Amino acid sequence: MIIKNNNTFHLQGKNISYVITVNEAGDLIHYHFGKKLADRDYSLKNEKLEYSLISYDENNIYLETAAQEYPAYGYTDLRTPAYKVRNKFGNSVSRLLFKDYSIMEDCVAEVEGMPCLFKGDKSAQTLEITLCDEAIGLDVVLSYTVFDEYDVILRSSRIINKSDEEMAVESAYSACVDFDKNDYDLVYFPGAWCREREFTRVSLNLGEKIDISNARGGSGHAMNPFVMVCERAANEKSGEVYGFSLIYSGNHSSLAECDQYGNVRVIQGLNPYEFQWNLESGEQFSTPQAVLSYSNCGFGGISRGMHDVYRNNLCRSSWADKNRPILINNWEGTYFDFNEEKLVDMAKKAKSVGVELFVLDDGWFGKRDDDLSSLGDWVVNKKKLPSGIKGLAEKINAEGLAFGLWFEPEMVNPDSDLYRKHPEWAIQVPNMKPSLCRHQLMLDLANDAVCDYIINAVGSILEDANVTYVKWDYNRMMNDMPFKGYNHKYILGLYRVFDTLTKKFPHVLFEGCASGGGRFDAGILAYSPQIWTSDNSDAVSRLKIQYSTSVCYPLSSISAHVTASPNHQLGRITPLKTRAEVAYAGIFGYELDITAMSDEECEEVKKQIEFYNKIKELVRTGDLYRLQSPYDSNYCGWQVVSKDKSEAFLFSCRILSQANFKDAAIRLDGLDAAKEYADAETGDVFGGDELMEKGIRPVYEKQDFSTFVKLYRAK
Ligand code: GLA
């Protein structure tokens, strides 16, 4: 609901309020974001908003410490601004004042050319506030959407050149929140290939400015576009926490600043590094959307809220709200060394244990037997696959499995027919040899002709063969960007490609991938409801990776496979049971040579699939509670409870075995205290209150990496 009361705009979500007011001088002031407030006229309290010991302007307004909605650079506020526009005089000083507003009922704001949340069957309203800097001819439209049943505020901004001259946008963040309180911690998710999204928490101290950003082209392994600020005492279960998630897949920045007075500002949006967008008179620039969330139930509260929003209102795929097929991918099973017979054998065996989808990974096209060549040439290698993709898909279908295919469409190898024909299609700068990474170059998606080539190349295969799943990979960072703002132009091209292909092939399940989880962001999730979480498939490493990925992103997006032991990335030996039980908390599959597994192992796999089939709807749609953190204990535990609280899946891993040690009971969460729950395996009955207050004592094997799962059903 959006309430306008004199100079105050009050956005109310399910349990939250976001209050904006206009002060006497016309500055747009941030008043409150947090727990729901009553409907009152908050503008009365803002007659003299900010006082300073230093100086005043004629209106007694000094913005240095004022909480603002979209702060400018220069006019008495010297903190990091939400935008910077270089005007015709060559400076970036600006002041925006309130001009106009409109409230749109039943409306979720959209951003042209970029993914954003949609309304679906929810009730939502959008407020647009237009601010104006008359001196330089600049309008900025701030957009706020609130859903009645969520605790999120969706923000974006539009910068419009109203002057007669060209102006240059040098930075344009999507959202800014100036908090009135201080003593906050910042939580963010840095990482690297095979070590994605490490849960990291630091204190925000006086005078500190922490830029959580990435400028590597994609949203990146190195830093995820999701951050939280929280009370120092906040934890998994309690305390005030604010989440900031950007729906964007390119260079991003979330900047947290604690000024000399302890005021905390968080801004999130495009990374201003190497960014510039020139606007001719009358032109406008739109930012991506940022999703701001609030919970006073700790990080777990933020997660459950974000999971609902991203599961229901982000991905437009017909697969978004369906159970996904259990797949087997041949990558770690064969790498590039396969032929048709081998693949069909794998599919046959996989079918016998209950797998539903066979995915052919890298190496099926051009003359690609290693990673040195052929990216760009999306034509089947008939030496390996004489029946072609169409024929292979038919053979796999005949075995009773659906068929899926890997592509890396944004890339080209110098050793490819595409590069020989169109060397100018690779991203490059004049007079410099473009830099290689994994022997490949990136295609210039800022060029429409290149995007059309990709749409046609991928599209013609999907038209020709019965391919119902696509793994869309992206395996290098972006260098050699030819001009400032290039990265954003590229991402707009990428979104056009995704939009066209996903609309043209609505029956295809797309899975995102970028050397594992190098582009695990809400922009990609808008097109593909699941993403390969990490190239590190070791079950023990996955505890941390999946734990921290789940803070923002739902389990329905976290692709998790059982792979061989010893693990290929780090050599660790883990039981098959552990590997599967860790992977249950996501979109489950296998990625190994199933033809090399013993009958005994295949029997175990069959049972694992039977078990996953029992919980997959619950995992995909339920509420997640993280119970034990692998970041600060020898355990990792989580639990998923169905929305109606009739079922709960519990997982726990004791990472290293300990002699003569009593493992603590695990207290469940989110159950109905008044209900009785039966252990689906033993039939033992417990009270919901008993499971949550007394807890249950886990039974681990006498070995490292021992896992423990339970399924409880309400009686
Ligand atoms: C990337 C992906 C892997 C696999 C390989 C193929 O690393 O993350 O899953 O598809 O590429 O080259």
Name the residue among 559, 564, 609, 567 with its Cα closest to residue 585.
Answer: 559
Name the residue among 83, 69, 29, 255 with its Cα closest to residue 176.
Answer: 69
**What is the best residue among 196, 370, 535, 587 to mutate for testing ligand 1's pocket, by most ligand atoms within 8 Å of CB?**
535
Handedness of CA 600, 606, 609, 615 (dihedral sign): negative
Distance 326 CA to ligand 1 centre (A): 19
Average pLDDT over residues 276-304: 98
Question: Which band of pLDDT confidence, cut at 50, 70 and 90, is reported for residue 355?
Answer: very high
User: How close are the terminal C-alpha atoms of the chain, in Å?
Assistant: 38
* Residue tagged 């503008």 (tokens): 43
Distance in angstroms (rounded) separating the CA atoms of residues 545 and 52 = 46
Q: Per-residue pLDDT tens for 452-475?
A: 999 999 999 999 999 999 999 999
Question: Which band of pLDDT confidence, cut at 50, 70 and 90, is reported for residue 620?
Answer: very high
Specify the length of the chain in residues. 715
Question: Which band of pLDDT confidence, cut at 50, 70 and 90, is reported for residue 45?
Answer: low
Distance 613 CA to ligand 1 centre (A): 26
Q: What is the pTM of this model?
A: 0.98
Closest-lying ligand 1 atom to the alpha carbon of residue 535 = 8
Name the residue among 477, 47, 30, 450 with its Cα closest to residue 267.
Answer: 30
What does the pLDDT read at residue 59? 59
Q: Per-residue pLDDT tens for 69-86?
A: 999 988 788 899 999 999
Q: Quick check: helix, strand or coil at residue 622?
A: coil
Question: Above 90 in pLDDT, residue 53?
Answer: no
Burial of 164 (0-12, 13-18, 19+ CB in 10 A): exposed
Please, what is the average pLDDT of the chain?
Answer: 96
**What is the best residue among 194, 361, 438, 476 to mutate for testing ligand 1's pocket, by most ligand atoms within 8 Å of CB?**
361
Give every CB contact of residue 571 below 8 A, 6+ residues apart in sequence.
none
Instruction: Kindly indicate whether the domain formed by 628-714 is annotated with CATH number 2.60.40.1180.
Output: yes
What does the pLDDT read at residue 24? 82
Distance 465 CA to ligand 1 centre (A): 22
CB atoms within 10 A of CB 52: 15
Question: Which band of pLDDT confidence, cut at 50, 70 and 90, is reported for residue 88?
Answer: confident
Question: Above 80 in pLDDT, residue 48?
Answer: no
Question: Above 90 in pLDDT, residue 644?
Answer: yes
Burial of 399 (0-12, 13-18, 19+ CB in 10 A): middle
Q: Rounded to whole angstroms, what are the CA distances from 393 to 297, 379, 461? A: 48, 15, 11
Distance in angstroms (rounded) separating the CA atoms of residues 417 and 595 = 35
Give every CB contact of residue 463 below 8 A, 6+ residues apart in sequence.
none
CB atoms within 10 A of CB 215: 20
What does the pLDDT read at residue 180? 82
Ligand 1 atom 7, closest CA: 515
Q: What does the angle CA 548 – CA 550 – CA 552 come to, to the nearest 5 degrees?
A: 100
Instruction: Choose the catalytic residue: 133, 178, 377, 473.
Output: 473
Distance in angstroms (rounded) separating the CA atoms of residues 198 and 190 = 6
What does the pLDDT read at residue 125? 98
Of 114 and 43, more confident: 114
Q: Per-residue pLDDT tens for 552-603?
A: 999 999 999 999 999 999 999 999 999 999 999 999 999 999 999 999 999 9
Question: Above 70 in pLDDT, residue 58?
Answer: no
* Residue tagged 């159970």 (tokens): 323
What does the pLDDT read at residue 453? 98
What does the pLDDT read at residue 200? 98
Question: Above 90 in pLDDT, residue 62?
Answer: no
Instruction: Choose the catalytic residue: 535, 623, 669, 704.
Output: 535
Closest-lying ligand 1 atom to the alpha carbon of residue 516 = 8
Question: Which band of pLDDT confidence, cut at 50, 70 and 90, is reported for residue 691?
Answer: very high
Quote the DSSP letter at residue 325.
P
Q: Per-residue pLDDT tens for 154-197?
A: 999 999 999 999 999 999 999 999 998 779 999 999 999 999 99
What stretches of 290-383 adopt beta strand conformation (E)?
290-295, 327-329, 357-360
Q: Which CATH number fits domain 2-313: 3.40.50.2300, 2.70.98.60, 1.10.3720.10, 3.40.1080.10?
A: 2.70.98.60
Distance in angstroms (rounded) separating the CA atoms of residues 215 and 195 = 18
What does the pLDDT read at residue 74? 82
What does the pLDDT read at residue 65? 84
Distance 365 CA to ligand 1 centre (A): 15
User: Strands 509-512, 530-532: parallel, antiparallel or unpaired by DSSP?
Assistant: parallel
Average pLDDT over residues 623-637: 98
Percent of the chain with pLDDT over 70: 97
Residues with CB under 6 A from ligand 1: 331, 361-362, 406, 473, 475, 513, 515-516, 532, 535
Q: Per-residue pLDDT tens for 257-271?
A: 999 889 999 999 999
Domain boundaries, the chain: 2-313, 327-622, 628-714
Peptide bond just before 566 cis, omega within 30 deg? yes
Confirm whether 535 is a catalytic residue: yes
Ligand 1 atom 12, closest CA: 362
Question: Above 80 in pLDDT, residue 120?
Answer: yes
CB atoms within 10 A of CB 87: 20
- Looking at the domain 327-622, which fold is it? TIM Barrel (3.20.20)
What does the pLDDT read at residue 413? 98
Ligand 1 atom 2, closest CA: 515
Copy the structure tokens of residue 329. Answer: 């991918």
Distance 473 CA to ligand 1 centre (A): 7
Q: What share of the chain is helix, strand, coil (3-state, %, to 5)?
A: 20, 30, 45
Give every CB contact of residue 442 below 8 A, 6+ residues apart in sequence.
217, 410, 411, 412, 426, 427, 476, 478
Distance in angstroms (rounded) separating the CA atoms of residues 547 and 339 = 37
Confirm whether 538 is a catalytic residue: no
**Topology agreement, domain 2-313 and domain 628-714:** no
**What is the best residue among 331, 470, 471, 590 to mutate for testing ligand 1's pocket, by most ligand atoms within 8 Å of CB?**
331
Distance 84 CA to ligand 1 centre (A): 39
